[in-house]
Structure 1
């Protein structure tokens, strides 16, 4: 049944205008972006099917075009809308990161990292360069690897820190497997990076481990204690 035939207060757009976006379900939010359904399905029903297929909003909005176009009623226009929404969310989070970061409350960093690399199918290593006030100077993707590992070049990270005249650094990488514990390789890399940065008077503040479900801080989990001085 078409959404147009629904009672007005049950239609997603009308509900949003009268009660705010927060009251809408994930499927209703998707329906507003889709605007129309497909043969036999309303936009909300199509939204529910997409959530069932992809498993979450994050996976849906980070899905490649090759997967989106395989879904009934979707194509390049839908992919463009989803990609635009995803990019807007990332840019809003980057704007919020321009304020000085508190190491006691790294939630903004976690939100950004999870949105940016949490749903990547391969391992990605990122660096966030900060000034003396702990404000973000730049965010760069340093390497991409296979599903199992990422080839991170310490020398390149040091070179970029010097380029940005950074005083401190936060690094992060994702685990596509969903594991929220650092490997021995992760620990060894962090220690090596910390020592290399110390030579140029740059402080390694934290290392975040990211999955599509969560994001954890080495510092908060005391995984960074063994390299703190």
Structure 2
């Protein structure tokens, strides 16, 4: 049945306008993005089918163009639209944490780091560089690793902190396995970086590990 024939309160677009986006299921959100279905299949039905084929919303959002366009109802134009939507979301989060102290927007920082790193297939190490008021100066990926590790050199982190005239920074890296628990190597690296940056009076405020779920804060767990 066409969505136009559904009761108005059950249509995804009208439901979103009445109750907000959080009230919609993954399939309903995807249906709004798709806009139309295919012959004999409404946008919501198509969305449900795609989510089942990909294995979930995250897998669909992280698919490359070759995988994405193999599925019914999805082509290069839809892929381009989706990438634009995702990048707008990342830029919105970046603007949010740039306007005020990062420490006053801990959830925005977590959301930003997750949006930047969760989709990476290999381990990536990055830094949020901040001024004396803990406002974000820049976000930089400094090291790319293999599927299970990245070689991080304190000298390079110090060099980039000086280049940005940073007073503080937040370390972050992802675990492609999805498990956020820090390894012993993660803890040792954090201490090495703290010692190196202390020599130039730059503080490390936290080290976030991005996996499945919320990014893990080493400070909150007492590991820093």
TM-score by length of 1: 0.90
* 1:163 aligned residue: 163
1:63 is paired with a residue whose SS is coil
2:178 is paired with a residue whose SS is coil
Moved more, 59-68 or 162-171: 59-68
User: Structure 2 vs 1, CA of residues 83 and 212 (structure 1 numbering), >3 Å: closer, same or farther?
Assistant: farther
Summarize deviations over 1:61-96 as a string: whole Å, max 9, x none: 222112211211211111112111111111111111
* 1:195 aligned residue: 195
For 2:172 and 2:218, the matched residues in 1 are separated by 10
* 2:3 aligned residue: 3
Q: Is the 8 A contact 1:58 1:115 kept in 2?
A: no
**Residue 223 (str. 1) matches residue 192 (str. 2):** no
For 2:51 and 2:213, the matched residues in 1 are separated by 15
CA RMSD across the alignment = 1.7
For 2:201 and 2:177, the matched residues in 1 are separated by 34
* 2:176 aligned residue: 176
Q: CA deviation at 1:19?
A: 3.8
* 2:124 aligned residue: 124
1:177 is paired with a residue whose SS is coil
2:137 is paired with a residue whose SS is strand
Q: Would you say how many aligned residue pairs link Structure 1 and Structure 2?
A: 223
Q: Is the 8 A contact 1:62 1:86 kept in 2?
A: no
Q: CA deviation at 1:49?
A: 2.1
1:208 is paired with a residue whose SS is strand
Q: Is the 8 A contact 1:36 1:42 kept in 2?
A: yes
